[in-house]
Structure 1
Amino acid sequence: MITLNIFLVLVIYQCALSDGSKLNLSTEPCDVSDIECISKATQVFLDNTYQGIPEYNIKKLDPITIPSLEKSIEKINLNVRYNNLKVTGFKNQKISHFTLVRDTKAVNFKTKVNFTAEGKLVIELPKSSKTYTGEVTIEASAEGGAAYSYSVKTDDKGVEHYEAGPETISCEIFGEPTLSVSSTLEDALKLDSDFKKIFTEYGKQLTEGRKQTACRIVETVYAVSVHNIRAAARILPKSAYFKNV
């Protein structure tokens, strides 16, 4: 989604990344094993920075707009496209797992989140040259995660900084995502015999497709999170992050 960048959280919490009017935060760094401390720091940070801080290259996290998500299933004659999805809920995510292994310099964190995405849905039936459009709302519960290695670099002033390596993003959806469409789109699909046949014969695949879409949303938000980690690491010293690392 993801979003809960622990490096960024604790750095900004300890150091004044911006003026007090924007953050007004101050605390000691957390121990890497103190999940309660990390959770508290994370929530306060999200409350104060979810709208982004452009001057520090910290991007907006909530709401976030995804221009387009597409999925084509040739086997069942169906193309699905979501346009301009406005995603909300990630400012309220809760950390569920965090590890930092000193020996291997590896970081892994996960958060649980309930989110909503609203936008336009375009459904195409290529074989019959039919296209339907309407408003759509997706609601889902998920756990997203990011894993990456880190290194330590020294800048031209002799200050050490963390540098995050390439990330691997993970996603798990809990239960079935809810997908609601506008009444006009729903009525049109109910009257289309081709779509009804697809729904009857491939309902399981369509359900799985909703989960895949929900995960793509989570993964998109998490990519922004990792970007923010890197942005913060370029600004703030290594000493601002955790105790005894």
Structure 2
Amino acid sequence: MAVFAVLMLLMFFGSVLSTDESIAVPCSINDIDCLGKSLEKFLEKTHKGIPAWNIVAIDPLVIPSFDVVFDNEGLIFKYKNLTVTGLRNQQLTGFKMDTNAKAVVLTTKADLDIVTDIDVIFSKSSKTLSGHYKSHASVLGTATYKYDLKTDEKGVTHFQVGPETITCKVVDAPRVELNPEFQQTLSNDADAKAFSQEKKHELREKAFCKITEKAYTYVVHNIREAAKAIPSTAFFTNIE
């Protein structure tokens, strides 16, 4: 049993070290092509999660519940069992790193699919309409965060990633599919019919972006946790 335990520990640490070595491509902060390849590799290696590093699975990403509130319209979209796919295939479209301010602005493009149960709550009439919802859209997600560099007790320097701010822009209008019963319910409901088609498109776009912003927080979480686990030189070649 003791030999078996030792072998299991060696296998575990060996897998962590191999992940460490290949989780990203070290790049100059100004080499956008290299950075794009590094992001691609990072997402490939981490999208299923790495529990030993507290890196969570992001594709598919399952969010048990999430609310989007539209105060001006008196609406709440309450999502349940929300599943997002497509984060694995993000493409880098912009990267700025200010080494003086120690600030990063990271923008990626993603084609995201959302599948969820939804309660549409009309606040004024206290009415809830429920159904199943699918949506697809291309989005640009931008994460802005500060960082610091910390040297651990072994003399290894790591990035320390601060709190993030996420913004989203929908590239094209979300394609939405509702289950037939839900579609029929909305078509016959007086409160739902009071919204113009233009307003409905606006609400769908805003809701998709809110979900995207929530999803991107998990992406930044994984960057933050990876930065704790591996040296700063695994990400960048010209950071001091």
Q: TM-score range by the shorter chain?
A: 0.7 to 0.9
In 2, distance between residues paired with 1:225 and 1:77? Answer: 31
Hey, what does 1:92 align to over in structure 2? 89
User: Where do residues 1-245 of structure 1 align in structure 2 (5 Å cutoff)?
Assistant: 18=16, 20=18, 25=22, 29-73=26-70, 76-196=73-193, 198-200=194-196, 203-245=197-239
SS at match of 1:100: strand
Gaps of 5+ in 1: 1-15
In 2, distance between residues paired with 1:93 and 1:39? Answer: 9
- How much has 1:96 moved relative to structure 2? 0.2
Q: TM-score, normalised by structure 2?
A: 0.83
In 2, distance between residues paired with 1:79 and 1:232? Answer: 35
Q: Which has the bigger relative contact order, CA under 8 A and spacing at least 6?
A: 1
User: Aligned in 2, Cα 1:180/1:28: closer, same or farther, shift over 3 Å?
Assistant: closer
- How much has 1:76 moved relative to structure 2? 4.5
Contact 1:23 1:49 in 2 (8 A): no
Contact 2:24 2:234 in 1 (8 A): no
Q: Which amino acid aligns with 2:176?
A: L
Contact 1:58 1:228 in 2 (8 A): yes
Gaps of 5+ in 2: 1-13
SS at match of 1:219: helix
- How much has 1:170 moved relative to structure 2? 1.7
Contact 1:142 1:172 in 2 (8 A): yes
In 2, distance between residues paired with 1:149 and 1:178? Answer: 35
SS at match of 2:163: coil
In 2, distance between residues paired with 1:27 and 1:71? Answer: 34
User: Aligned in 2, Cα 1:147/1:134: closer, same or farther, shift over 3 Å?
Assistant: same
User: Aligned in 2, Cα 1:75/1:212: closer, same or farther, shift over 3 Å?
Assistant: closer
Moved over 4 A (4+): 72-77, 126-129
Q: Which amino acid aligns with 2:22?
A: L
SS at match of 1:176: coil
- How much has 1:93 moved relative to structure 2? 1.0
Contact 2:25 2:38 in 1 (8 A): no
User: Aligned in 2, Cα 1:181/1:103: closer, same or farther, shift over 3 Å?
Assistant: same
Q: Which amino acid aligns with 2:84?
A: V
In 1, distance between residues paired with 2:188 and 2:41? Answer: 49
